[in-house]
Amino acid sequence: MAILITGGAGYIGSHAALELLRRGFDVVVVDNLSNSHEAAIDRVAELAARPVPFHRVDIRDRAALDQVFRTAPIDAVMHFAGLKAVGESVGQPLRYYDNNISGTIVLLEVMKQHGVRTLVFSSSATVYGDPASVPITEDFPLSAVNPYGRSKLFIEEMLRDLCRAEPEWRVALLRYFNPSGADPSGRIGEDPNGIPNNLVPFIAQVAVGRLPEVAVFGTDYPTRDGTGVRDYIHVVDLVVGHINALEKLAAGPGLVSYNLGTGRGYSVLEMIEAFGRAAGKTIKYRLAPRRPGDAAECWSDASRAERELGWRATRGLDDMCRDVWRWQSNNPNGYA
């Protein structure tokens, strides 16, 4: 079975490519390298001991994407390509809507033209907006609090409409909580551009000496230690969930949606401490005001995925920190 991976040079897409190759799938990677490096593909090929067909293509480029579908048979698409920085999306909404929404429309049209109607889509827990309570189930009301989140929400709605209009489509909406971790080889991992927005890569760069200290955003939340609580999920568990979703789609057409999380939350201070344990150092931090737009707690009820996909996260906090540290300490400057 051949899977087209859009955004396959990126953090999650590269781990998906590796896991698929390890399980004997064929993959084709499409990425415009706007937020990634071709070296990630080379390392996936090296780890899998198999060549990885790679096309440097923007998914909005219909002719180029059409050409990719002509060069190799494709059975299904895992769609990771997208811009994902929440703050940036507030300042550049049109760029986000064009890249994420227009890109997905072109992809769906080209898929249709080539008779490919199976799609696993990278959605996000951001589609739950500011949740009224935790844990979050898939039936919670959906909303968006920034253009990035709105782009995910629109794409979900678009896919629902498509499946209603053309019932032969098979679509899985996978709502990720907070992906973290890296392949245990330490050869591939998350390599954000500039100063990281997200907590774990920030901590990792403090640990490796690239940044002086972590700012803990908010210490007066109604949580066990006053800092924000999130559901950090190991990227390898996450990509295994995608393969289970693909198997589910093989059983019949329709649209399904799943939370991919661990079902438990850790606070910012717990994360800093766990990372310090993994790296064998004390991570310097300072207490800072809340970051606007942050919820106190966001963690999943992941029981639907367990029930219907037979999937659950098996890697814990210490595995995650250990694997991030191996990646970061072996590659202090990422892929550069």
> In sequence order, which ranges of the chain are alpha helices (DSSP H)?
11-22, 38-48, 62-71, 86-91, 93-96, 103-113, 147-165, 199-207, 235-250, 268-279, 303-309, 317-330
Based on the shown chain and the rule CB under 6 A, indicate whether residue 199 belongs to the binding site for ligand WQD.
yes
Scan residues 90-109 and list those touching ligand NAD (CB under 6 A): 99, 103
Of 21-29, 46-54, 154-162, 208-216: span binding ligand WQD (CB under 6 A): 208-216
From the list ligand WQD, ligand NAD, none, which binds 12 (C-beta under 5 to 8 Å, kind-based)? ligand NAD
Based on the shown chain and the rule CB under 6 A, indicate whether residue 35 belongs to the binding site for ligand NAD.
yes
Q: What are phi and psi of 136, to 5 degrees?
A: -95, 125
State how beta strands 266-267 and 229-230 pair. antiparallel
CA distance 312 to 309: 9
Which single residue brings its beta carbon nearest to ligand WQD?
Answer: 228
By rule CB under 6 A, what string of x and - marks binding of each residue 83-102 to ligand WQD?
-x-x----------------
Phi/psi-derived region of residue 113, left when phi > 0, alpha when psi is between -120 and 50, beta in every other case: alpha
Does residue 167 sit in helix, strand or coil?
coil
Provide, rounded to whole angstroms, the least separation between the CB of residue 181 and ligand NAD.
11
Q: Site for ligand NAD (CB under 6 A): which residue of 34, 137, 219, 223?
A: 34
Contacts of 221 (CB under 8 A, 6+ apart): 227, 228, 229, 290, 296, 297
Q: What are phi and psi of 222, to 5 degrees?
A: -75, 65
Total interface residues for ligand NAD by CB under 6 A: 26
Nearer to ligand NAD, 10 or 218 (CB): 10
Scan residues 297-316 and list those touching ligand WQD (CB under 6 A): 298
Catalytic residue selected from 128, 148, 176, 258:
148
Based on the shown chain and the rule CB under 6 A, indicate whether residue 240 belongs to the binding site for ligand NAD.
no
Chain mean position to CA 120: 12
Scan residues 276-295 and list those touching ligand WQD (CB under 6 A): 291, 294
State how beta strands 26-31 and 54-56 pair. parallel
Based on the shown chain and the rule CB under 6 A, indicate whether residue 145 belongs to the binding site for ligand WQD.
no
Nearer to ligand WQD, 284 or 291 (CB): 291
Nearer to ligand NAD, 13 or 131 (CB): 13
148 as an active site residue: the answer is: yes
Contacts of 178 (CB under 8 A, 6+ apart): 125, 198, 199, 200, 230, 231, 232, 233, 261, 298
CA distance 110 to 75: 13
Based on the shown chain and the rule CB under 6 A, indicate whether residue 178 belongs to the binding site for ligand WQD.
yes
* Angle at alpha carbon of residue 36, lines to 261 and 277, rounded to 5°: 50
From the list ligand NAD, ligand WQD, none, which binds 31 (C-beta under 5 to 8 Å, kind-based)? ligand NAD
From the list ligand NAD, ligand WQD, none, which binds 45 (C-beta under 5 to 8 Å, kind-based)? none
Show the tokens assigned to 294: 């942050």
From the list ligand NAD, ligand WQD, none, which binds 291 (C-beta under 5 to 8 Å, kind-based)? ligand WQD
Binding stretches for ligand NAD (CB under 6 A): 7, 9-13, 31-36, 58-60, 80-84, 99, 103, 122, 124, 176, 179
The catalytic site residues sit at 148
Tell me which residues touch ligand WQD (CB under 6 A).
Answer: 84, 86, 124, 126, 178, 197-199, 202, 214-218, 228, 230, 268, 291, 294, 298
